[in-house]
Amino acid sequence: MTIFHLSTECYPVAKVGGLADVVGALPKYQNKIKGVNAKVVMPWYNKHFVYDYDFEVVFDGFIHQGSNMLQVQVMKETTDVLGFELFMVKIPGLLDRENPYGYEDESFQFLAFQQGVLHWLTAMKIRPDVLHCHDYHTGLVPFMIENCEEFEFLKGVKTIGTIHNGEYQGMMNWDMINYMPAFDHHKWGLLDWNGFINPLASMIKCCSAFTTVSEGYLEELFVSFRGLESLVREEFSKAYGIINGIDTDVWNPQTDPMIDFNFNSKNALKIKKKNKAKLCKEYGLNPELPLFAFIGRFATEKGADLLPDLIWRSIKQSFGGLNIIVLGSGNAYIEQQLKELDSVYSNFATDIGYKEHLSHKIYASADFLLMPSRVEPCGLNQMYAMRYGTVPVVSYTGGLRDTVKDITTGGSGLNFTYPGVDDIIHAMSRALNVYKNKAQMDELVLSNMKFDFAWEKSAEKYLTLYKN
């Protein structure tokens, strides 16, 4: 069975969020299953990876976007270093940039990527068994292979759409139809949602099946999906919730080259303290105090707007009895507030930016991980934290609800129902009580490290879905 994963992100090539981690791991684990050949196709980015490894041109052609003729080159990484074949689509002026997102012409960018991929497969007579489309950036693929005459060769190929985050749907005005491949305009309804072209809605309508990255998130979409609630209810018969896994080759405290001192469940209690002491020294924190951490994008869906208020209030109410470290970037106002707090409070440190190596060090050092998410389709951070013996303090939503049960029910972390500062501080107070009870804290650290979040189970579930 041949599977092509289409995505705008893939770790370690280009990463903005959890999408990259999933696409960088799932096909690798699928390829460990007999008879499966999973590949990844993504846009070309001018990042270190493309210069550190060798690529060869496997296709060179042209597509039209309106009256513009665009060159399409498909480059293949020659060594399969990631555990799967990696193809990168290069289109001068659109798919040859530094970053995946943040450009004013994103609609043209993602449309050209999808059209370029399908043009390559059609021209080279490559007909996979499954096209696995990740998020709205590839959401028009199911529509185009069934309705665009140019891609008649691919008609009937099964398509799976995975919703990593339904907050982003890629809506476009109808004038963008002039830049799409020709199709029977009687089929316009398969693109439309509330007067806009909505790639995510189109994916749900046209794909063979669609998945969310946790069962809990699928349940939430039926009642909260930024306007698509009725659509997901209409198409529920082809909806599946499959929890993400983590790449245990990358996220392994015993072998992780990014942390200062490696450890396993036998020596974790001792070695985590060494990592914590080193990190605290670097950021001017007191290693004798419990260390809370936040790692992620500064976005309201992640609850990052709560951080400034949460930080000063938790420090004040605990009488300086805790440390907090924050790693992330995003909203400029939140960034500025955190920088100001960093200059005022000795119990708080922040590092602005995306720094993969530092995130590993924090997981290996922190006592507690804060995830005050309003929306969390799956969440990988809580799984990374538990793998490294760090206790998650999370809102009871989406994938967090599926993976972190409260300690009062014999679970692995501390839950709060409402993502507000009062509820979070209450959960942090409970965490401080756990920290003071050394026997309970030690047991929690060691038991969390034993949780199995590896990709094997989820990879098998996807394979069963493909076969069905």
List, as residue ranges, the binding site for ADP-alpha-D-glucose: 15
Return d(Cα 348, Cα 329) in angstroms, integer: 16
Show the DSSP H helices in 227-306 as ranges: 229-234, 268-283
- C-alpha 414/C-alpha 390 separation (Å) is 12
- The SS3 assignment for 61 reads strand
Burial class (CB in 10 A: 0-12, 13-18, 19+), 160: buried
DSSP for 255-309? T-TTSSS---TTTHHHHHHHHHHHHHHHHT--TTS-EEEEEEEE-GGGTGGGHHH
Amino acid at 274: K
Distance, CA of 156 to CA of 32 (rounded, Å) = 27
Closest of 291, 284, 358 to residue 328, by C-alpha: 358
Tally of CB atoms within 10 A around 336: 12
CA distances from 295 to 117, 309, 353, 462 (A): 34, 17, 10, 28
For residue 39 the two structure tokens come to: 């590949």
Task: Specify whether the CB–CB gap between 161 and 211 falls below 8 A.
Answer: yes
83 φ, ψ (degrees, to nearest 5): 95, 5
Asked if residues 65 and 119 have their Cβ atoms less than 8 Å apart, the reply is: no
Beta strands 68-77; 55-65: pairing state: antiparallel
CA distance readout (Å), 95 to 107, 238, 443: 12, 32, 49
Q: What are phi and psi of 142, to 5 degrees?
A: -55, -40
d(CA 303, CA 313): 16
Measure the CA–CA gap between 406 and 408, rounded to whole angstroms. Answer: 5
Q: For the chain, what is the total number of helices (H) and then of strands (E)?
A: 16, 17
Q: What is the sign, positive or negative, of the torsion defined by CA atoms of 378, 87, 101, 342?
A: positive
